[in-house]
Structure 1
């Protein structure tokens, strides 16, 4: 007697399975909701120097919008590149002391492009590195491996064992807000013949000489063994991503980088706005000093790790407690970040306070008091 036909899953079964998974996430306090931005003191965004609304920035972007229109109309290699894109790339390379730079429509795509271009074997990542770096290693077909966060002994052991071509770290980490020991990391990677990729997303504009970032602060600007990635969406107040390194890397990314070749270019008005921010940010040493002061004040008040730049991450118990704390802050007119697994590499839930020096000092102090009062 022959067996009957095998059961075939229907589209309805797919949605049922996803619904059950959503229910399980809700029970664990892991539901994520995109809410419209409310009128609140901003301690959640990444506009560290408050430059996204600087008058010179808005004026430059408005002029470019009127001249070039809303979008870039094509990929960088088809129709999307303008003289504005190339001028920004050259200016960013000068700012960070690198040989050349390549602009992308997001920091995520910049990391994907850089890792895909450089991963000729296993990729070794700090356990706390951005998710985009971990995703990039997997998508590039490389074998991603991690070393313990900022643990030089573990890194050296894995360098000897794996012999990777690429080690990826952040200069300022996005969750805990701590700094990478870049000089020591570079010494190890150089000794083992590996490139060091430094994600400067939270460092460009906030640390280093004239805000040039962590690699420049560590004396590694322009080193041929270092590649920099960054986003324009944080201290530079715009949107987009960038990869900077030797000129030969730029050529390679143009010729072979899928996230460059097939992606629509960033809008010219956004690029011009970021360029204007970069000009102001170079002269904003006073704002960087104030950023450091406020971040240290927040960390001390909230019993959080000492920050390297503008990120303060106090622990918040489990996911439900973190969500409740963030909600109470929002109810009192203060927007804060809420990080829960899997977004936290140490599997702990926490708030993330991001300092914005565009918020008046008295308003920031009151907002910090509000966060303390709302704490469970």
Structure 2
């Protein structure tokens, strides 16, 4: 029983440090209204930024796709699990974000953890923002390249690291919108450094695609880099299970880059292809995103309302213009207690603790969507303010 005893002791330490995670099962479709353990809640924890996941038009497209293509793909993409609708989706994605070609993955984690080992190896160097998502971190480790992590968004520090590297191949790797802080990377400056030091720039736009930029084409387009003469250096990752409301991810870039990834990305080659019905639904999602300016404007209005009505003194609402609005609390146990008090008040907001965020920066991660009502947002802001005045979760 020694092996089990070791696990139980480890679980006990997680409890002592207020770090054990808990799953909650929602009895309703993805939407601001949720039912968990029989309790009716307003949820502020979904990445469904445009409110598309539960949209009837998208659900109908998924049902239509299943009727046309069946339930599964049957094999990996490079055997027999790639279908005409996958091709159609990849062409549409590439056209939408303004690149030569795109490659569709089953998940964003598979995309990030797969493309970095395909682009870099032993002797190469990866330069990564310290707050990058775990999927990028794991991809860097799998690559066996030398990894340099620069302080968050510190372009000067990154330039010093690049100048001091003699690696034959260099990759700058960054989130576009940082998932736990909500801020946006300095993409124009990063591309300038990539040009100066002859590097690739890998951008994970998981939380910007569909929300930022013209027609929701993402943070790269918002920065005007999609038409930059050196845009071929950018390897763009977009997630399709957040603002797009379905599932999967894509990588877009120069045609030769994408062809290389088809040949070398293990997480693409050695897995069963995503169901073609999802690709059918995602084509409908792309049309909704492109025509979704009213949804994006509504989301911006809700972000402004939340920031106006949240009046904190001890906790801190981090600076963010995106749908991710973090409330920094600091202590793990206090963050868990505040999340519990909000839950008791009918407001579902997750407490985020290490190792997802650095030690001492536990927080509430408020996610707003275009499907929220302004009354929901104001109630959350006022409840947070009241709880802080009352001393937290007590």
TM-score class, shorter: over 0.9
Match of 2:210 in 1: 205
Q: Please point out which of 274, 279, 284 is paired with 2:282.
A: 274
Does the C-alpha gap of structure 1 residues 360 and 262 become closer, same or farther in structure 2, counting only changes over 3 Å? same
Superposition deviation, residue 346 in structure 1:
6.3
CA contact (8 A) 1:60 1:276 kept: yes
Match of 1:356 in 2: 369
Query: Does residue 105 of the first structure (1) align with residue 110 of the second (2)?
Result: no
Does the C-alpha gap of structure 1 residues 296 and 159 become closer, same or farther in structure 2, counting only changes over 3 Å? farther
Query: Does residue 31 of the first structure (1) align with residue 26 of the second (2)?
Result: no
CA distance in 1, matches of 2:51, 2:62: 16
TM-score by length of 1: 0.93
Q: Secondary structure of 1:179's partner?
A: coil
Does the C-alpha gap of structure 1 residues 355 and 161 become closer, same or farther in structure 2, counting only changes over 3 Å? same
Query: Does residue 344 of the first structure (1) align with residue 366 of the second (2)?
Result: no
Query: Does residue 183 of the first structure (1) align with residue 188 of the second (2)?
Result: yes
CA distance in 2, matches of 1:325, 1:99: 47
Match of 1:220 in 2: 225
Q: Please point out which of 246, 260, 263 is paired with 1:252.
A: 260
CA distance in 1, matches of 2:301, 2:351: 22
Match of 1:119 in 2: 120
- Worse overlay, 158-167 or 98-107: 158-167
Match of 2:29 in 1: none
Superposition deviation, residue 163 in structure 1:
4.7
TM-score by length of 2: 0.89
Q: Secondary structure of 1:313's partner?
A: strand
Q: 1:1-376 to 2 correspondence within 5 Å?
A: 12-37=1-26, 38=36, 39-120=40-121, 121-163=124-166, 165-221=170-226, 223-300=231-308, 301=310, 303-345=316-358, 347-375=360-388, 376=392
Alpha-carbon RMSD across the aligned residues, in angstroms, is 1.6
Give CA deviations for 1:103-151 in whole Å, capped at 9, x if unaligned.
Answer: 1110000001221111141211000111111110101212222000011
CA distance in 2, matches of 1:26, 1:257: 38
* Structure 1 runs not aligned, ≥5 long: 1-11
Q: Secondary structure of 2:79's partner?
A: helix
